[in-house]
Every structure is written in structure tokens, then in C-alpha cells.
Amino acid sequence: MIRDKNIMVGVTGGIAAYKACSLVSSLIQQGAHVKVVMTEHATQFVTPLTFQALSRQPVYIDTFDEKDPEKIAHIDVADWADIVILAPATANIIAKLANGLADDMLTTTLLATQADVYIAPAMNVHMYAHPSVVDNMKTLVERGCYFIEPGAGYLACGYVGKGRLEEPDRIIEAIEHHQKQQSLLSGKIVLVSAGPTREAIDPVRFFSNRSSGKMGFALAEAAAEMGAKVILVSGPVTLKAAHPNIERINVTTAAEMYEAMHVHYASADIVIKAAAVADYRPKQTFEQKLKKQPGDWTITLERTQDILASLGEQKKGQFLVGFAAETSNVIQNGLAKLKRKNLDAIVINDVTKAGAGFAGDTNKAVYVNRSNSQIDMPLSTKKNMAQDIMTFIAKDMKGDLNDGR
């Protein structure tokens, strides 16, 4: 993955800059071509000559120090790079990149590059937890940057906690893993539905359910990170889709979701129905707000269409995945749903289990495919589970599920 790649290493002014020397050395030993760009502050910790000797390339610090009159250095380096690694990344460089500042060689190059950007932060534990740093990191993730989390341990400032630059070999491993994952779904179109639907009774009242949309959004983000183009059909939720490859379509009712899913179905390679679609809607929707009356109020409900079943009927090569929330005979009921709706795989939640189900950040489920291969997914964050599910799907499509890992 790293061999023959052009890698720009951005070194910023933190004590962990000394570890960037081993990082550059390891990258070179693994066959990468490396150019180092330093901030002025970084040169307080390590001399440019060290990086020049390790990379056997000139080191860039000053935007106006043009080494070759035929080229504009920051654009040249930005275009040359396949991968950018910021290590160590201080709170300052994270803030500058999140806000588009370009006041030195490193920041101008970062704005100009189209390469994949990996950021390995290193700072004091309280700085790392500061809301502005957290917000800036979130912004960068939403724009497609990938963070390599710092480890916990002794920090140069004397504190013990999270903030220590990840070890150089672990940084390279994380990048290799991410590059591999990124290509798993490249060229694929993934259609995901998420969240609840709302079925209006009158202009101010509706029937809905507790779905937060978190699982569906996590799936959309995982698919986008694996290189897919994602169309996310979302019911009313408060979430933001955090990836530039996600096109979001907002719907409210089951009928609108049916329409949106069918419009995009033909062009999709993978379709995942993680939405909690209303099975019933009021038979009549009142145009004016209903005034309360003495006595009871009965509302007649009628069935909505089963979107997933209709997609199953019209399937032409799409890999169709459903979700099932079960409380008893979990696997049997899930498998019956898979067959009834002509699915390729189903993710079955036992919603009686702690940590599984609707509103929380965690889930616990089983992935089952048409040939009855089953993979248990232990309790984990919806984000991690979504990455696992997308990996299973990518492998399953190639007939290579095994144990999925």
C-alpha cells in the first residue's frame, strides 16, 4: 500500500516532532517517496537537515523559498502527494486547516492538495479534549480527513492521559488499513435509508417511532469512507451526514421514502434499508388541526407499502440488505424475513438485549446471508458496527465472506 506512494509528511511544532523522524525513516524503508514540510515552530524541535537526510529530499518551510523557478513549490508538492500525513499535528494546525488559513508553506500546501489527509494529533490531554479542538476535528472529519487517534500515556507536559502521538509504525498500519478499506467499495453506488418516517394525523400531530437514524447514517459514512458514492434517503432526524461523498435526500413519510428509494434503485449496486418505516398510517389526514372533543377518539390506520419487499421483487443484480428488529426466535424470524423479502443479507437485532436497538450509540447484531452464513457482531459502537457490516457486504458480494474479518 505504501510502496511507491508519494507521501508528504507535515511536521508541526510539538515535542513529538522527534517521532516524525522515525516515521519518515520507516516510510522510506517501506519504499515510499517522502517530502517533508515543516512549520517554523517545528524547526525548534528538529532540524530540517535531519528530515532532509532521512528523506533525501529538500525540506520545505517557507512558502517564498522557491527552490525551482519553473515550479510554484506549494502547488507542486500538493499535486505530487498521493497521501499527506500530519504528524505530530498540534491544536494550532488542526484549527488552521479547519478554518482554511494559509499563512505558511504547510497550510498553503494543505489547502491546495487533493491527496488523502491523515492527521495524527499530539498535545496535552486537556487541549485534546477542549471543545474548540473537538469541533475543529469534527469539521475536518466531515470534510474527509482521517484522524489517527493519539495514545494514552505519559505526556511531555507531565500529565498522564490521551494526547501522545501514536507510534510511527501504528500510524503507518492505520494508513495502510484505511487505504485498503477505502478501495473496498470504490466505483460502487450505495443506497441507504435511515431514520423513522412520520405519518401525519393533522397539521400538528403525527405517528412516528423512536429511530434516531444513527445506524443508517453510520452505514452511509462507512460506505463513503470505503470509496462508494452514497445516496442517503433519510427520514426526519437531527443528524448531519459527515462525508463529502454522501448525497442526502430528506423524506418524511413512508410513501416519500418508497418513491425516493425506487427513483435511485436502478443505479444502485448495494441497497441497505436501515430505516424504521411506519407499517401503518392514518387512513385519513385532516387538513385542519382537530379540536378536542369529549370522549374517546379512534383513528383508523391503513398499511403502508413494504418498501424493502417491493425492492426485493424488482431486484436486478443489486445486493439488497434489510434490517430486522426481533424479540423472540431471533435468527429464525430474521431468516424468514430474508426469504420473504428476497434479500441477499439481513442484519438482525435482538432488541431485548442491553445496548442493542434504536436511540443509543451502540448495537449488537447478527449478519446473516442467503446461504445462511452467520456472523455475530458483539456489542460495539454503531460506527464500528457499520464499518464491519460494509466490509461483510463487500466480501459477500465477491462470495468471500468466510468469517468476514
Active site residues: 157
- Inter-residue contact 200 to 253 (CB < 8 Å): yes
- Inter-residue contact 98 to 88 (CB < 8 Å): no
Q: Which stretch binds ligand CTP (CB under 6 A): 213-221, 244-252, 271-279, 285-293?
A: 271-279
Residue 257 cell numbers, joined: 421514502
> Is residue 194 part of the contact set for ligand CTP (CB under 6 A)?
no
Name which of 214, 176, 165, 129 is nearest 11 in CA terms: 165
Q: Radius of gyration of the chain from Cα atoms?
A: 25
Q: Which stretch binds ligand CTP (CB under 6 A): 155-163, 288-296, 318-326, 396-404?
A: 318-326
To the nearest whole angstrom, how small is the minimum distance from the Cβ of residue 225 to ligand CTP?
22
- Inter-residue contact 2 to 27 (CB < 8 Å): yes
Among 35, 74, 198, 337, binds ligand CTP (CB under 6 A): 337
> Is residue 10 part of the contact set for ligand CTP (CB under 6 A)?
no
Return the DSSP state at 156.
T
- Nearer to ligand CTP (CB atom), residue 23 or residue 261: 261
> Is residue 308 part of the contact set for ligand CTP (CB under 6 A)?
yes
> Is residue 385 part of the contact set for ligand CTP (CB under 6 A)?
no
CA count, 13 A, side-chain hemisphere, 357: 11
User: What gap in Å lies between CA 77 and CA 85, rounded to an integer?
Assistant: 13
- Nearer to ligand CTP (CB atom), residue 328 or residue 372: 328
> Are β-strands 6-11 and 33-38 bridged in parallel, bridged antiparallel, or unpaired?
parallel
Length of the chain: 405
User: What gap in Å lies between CA 88 and CA 123, rounded to an integer?
Assistant: 9
> Is residue 220 part of the contact set for ligand CTP (CB under 6 A)?
no
Among 325, 375, 377, 386, binds ligand CTP (CB under 6 A): 325
Among 110, 324, 348, 375, binds ligand CTP (CB under 6 A): 324
Cis peptide before 88 (omega within 30 of 0): yes
> Is residue 234 part of the contact set for ligand CTP (CB under 6 A)?
no
To the nearest whole angstrom, how small is the minimum distance from the Cβ of residue 184 to ligand CTP?
22
- Nearer to ligand CTP (CB atom), residue 307 or residue 368: 307
Q: How many residues bind ligand CTP (CB under 6 A)?
A: 14
- Give, in order, the Cα–Cα distances in Å from 153 to each of 119, 160, 164, 258, 402: 19, 5, 7, 51, 37
Name which of 1, 30, 21, 37 is nearest 113 in CA terms: 37
- Nearer to ligand CTP (CB atom), residue 136 or residue 304: 304
* Strands, E assignment, 101-188: 116-121, 146-147, 151-154, 160-164
> Is residue 275 part of the contact set for ligand CTP (CB under 6 A)?
yes
To the nearest whole angstrom, how small is the minimum distance from the Cβ of residue 367 to ligand CTP?
13
> Is residue 51 part of the contact set for ligand CTP (CB under 6 A)?
no
User: What gap in Å lies between CA 47 and CA 9, rounded to an integer?
Assistant: 15
> Is residue 86 part of the contact set for ligand CTP (CB under 6 A)?
no
Q: Which stretch binds ligand CTP (CB under 6 A): 132-140, 152-160, 288-296, 319-327?
A: 319-327
* x/- map, 288-307, ligand CTP, by CB under 6 A: ----------------x-xx
The contact set with ligand CTP (CB under 6 A) reads 254, 273, 275, 277, 279, 304, 306-308, 322-325, 337
